[in-house]
Structure 1
Amino acid sequence: MSQPDSFAAFQSKNPDAAFHDWLRESAEPFWTRATAHRFTEELAEGTLDPQACARYLVQDYAFVDSFVSLLGYAVAYAPAMPEKRPFAGFLAAVTSEENDYFLRSFRALGVPDTEWREPELAPVTAELLSILQDSGRSGSYPLVLATLLAAEWSYLTWGLACGARRPREFWMAEWIDLHAVPEFQQFVTWLRDETSRVGAASPPDVQQQMCRTFRHMMQLEERFFDHAYTPETGT
């Protein structure tokens, strides 16, 4: 499917569409592959191999460290307190409840402390961290929004797709809960609206940068799930 080359072109054919609709459509087919991945389906069904889950969580915990820093940049770059407050609240949640989940899961899955404290980064993880770090240091609020939205909106999408399914093992069930609870949905909805507000008002070159970053993030999100089954190795 050909992708609209600009938000203006997309909106001319879809007058009621928001900026985030253009980002999502421009990220196909990676958006669909990442949000309906084998990993998330097996997670919901409770059939996910524990080794695959452990491999994924170790890499995701490495991702969280840079993600927390990006949230800090979002607080700094947000124009006023009404925009800063949602980021600050989400930052507190990630560094408390979510961090506790990781530590309990590592113990339950038998992951050695050295493995999660000093992980060997997969190439896809290193690429994701590079995008987070570049976005954070860019000084660009629009770019930070696009990066955060790709990560969080995609996770909300698969989290909600799990419906009421919850495996017996907490390290699967609670990972779904973290990405499907009303509080997370409320934050992502706000983030999506804020990205659309800022993106629609941005110059075309900034819109293109946001679009490229969102699409690249979704390519990497698909690979990140793939790594749980077929580990990527460095060159």
Structure 2
Amino acid sequence: MSFTQQLWQRNLDLYQNILALPFNQEMAQGTLSQAAFCHYIIQDAHYLEAYGRALAVCAAKAYDADEIILFTESAKVAIVVERSLHDSFMQDFNISKNEFDNTPLSLACHHYTSFLTATAWSESYPVVLAALLPCFWIYAEVGKDIVQNAAKVNPYQAWIDTYSGEEFTEAVQKVIAAVDRVAARSDADTLEKMHRAYTRGAELEWLFWESAYNSRTWPVGLNKA
């Protein structure tokens, strides 16, 4: 069993819980409320900027030129390509630039981006890779599951197509292969750190979707910086 297969098996129950979240179930059926989806789009746009920065740091720490290219290009995709998708959704769902600019990071988004940023700067390349992997891998698998259960007419079809498409799947496979290569040359302590980083990232994926469904925000009076 490869290292990434071990990661997946260790966290399989968590992945099943993510699939079962009302956000993903209702998105598949096209019944997800517009308010929940708009909350998600705004927070995901905030998240993607931080994710792109973490990918760029990951590229700087990469062991070889091919992986520098892989994660530099991934950072570009996070910022440019997916931002275009979100710009389209923001138009379609009447989210103004002013609304986006004045909506702070939710607790879940703040927690997730802080984790990725801290990990990217303070941890070794293998651990950074493991922390970044859940966003790639879990999104791809959730996208595939939604496609299999999706309603024929779905207002969220563009999101479904993006994360279940062949291009995204190929990108995910490249990242999985990179994690396995790096794991093969890592010691036992590093491998355990990678396991912990992946699990925390997967937990934060769950939290992000749960937060979006319930449109969770900061309690009144607390610092939103």
- Which TM class, normalised by the smaller chain length? 0.7 to 0.9
Query: How far 1:93 moved relative to its partner?
Result: 2.5
Structure 1 position 178 matched with structure 2 position 162: yes
2:104 to 120, 144, 151: 120
Quote the Cα distance in structure 2 between the aligned partners of 1:24 and 1:65: 26
Structure 1 position 210 matched with structure 2 position 194: yes
Quote the Cα distance in structure 2 between the aligned partners of 1:136 and 1:167: 40
Query: How far 1:74 moved relative to its partner?
Result: 2.0
What is the RMSD computed on CA atoms of the aligned residues?
1.9
Change (3 A) 1:223 1:126: same
Quote the Cα distance in structure 2 between the aligned partners of 1:69 and 1:18: 28
AA of the residue aligned to 2:200:
H
AA of the residue aligned to 1:29:
D
Q: What is aligned with 2:124?
A: 140
Query: How far 1:154 moved relative to its partner?
Result: 0.2
* Deviation digits for residues 79-121 of structure 1 (CA, Å, limit 9, x no counterpart): 2222122223333333322111111211221223233224222
Structure 1 position 191 matched with structure 2 position 183: no
Query: How far 1:69 moved relative to its partner?
Result: 0.2
Quote the Cα distance in structure 2 between the aligned partners of 1:80 and 1:124: 33
Aligned pairs, how many? 217
Is the contact between residue 70 and residue 132 of structure 1 (CA under 8 Å) also seen in structure 2? yes
Q: What is aligned with 1:41?
A: 25
Q: So what's the TM-score if we normalise by structure 1?
A: 0.85
Unaligned stretches of 5+ residues in structure 2: 220-225
Structure 1 position 61 matched with structure 2 position 34: no
Quote the Cα distance in structure 2 between the aligned partners of 1:136 and 1:117: 25
Structure 1 position 81 matched with structure 2 position 65: yes
Query: How far 1:33 moved relative to its partner?
Result: 1.2
AA of the residue aligned to 2:146:
C
Is the contact between residue 58 and residue 125 of structure 2 (CA under 8 Å) also seen in structure 1? yes
Q: Give the % identical residues.
A: 25
* Deviation digits for residues 150-181 of structure 1 (CA, Å, limit 9, x no counterpart): 11100000111123646443xx1111122112
* Deviation digits for residues 168-214 of structure 1 (CA, Å, limit 9, x no counterpart): 43xx1111122112111111111112112212321122111111111
Q: What is aligned with 1:13?
A: none
1:155 to 131, 139, 149: 139
Q: So what's the TM-score if we normalise by structure 2?
A: 0.88
AA of the residue aligned to 1:71:
L
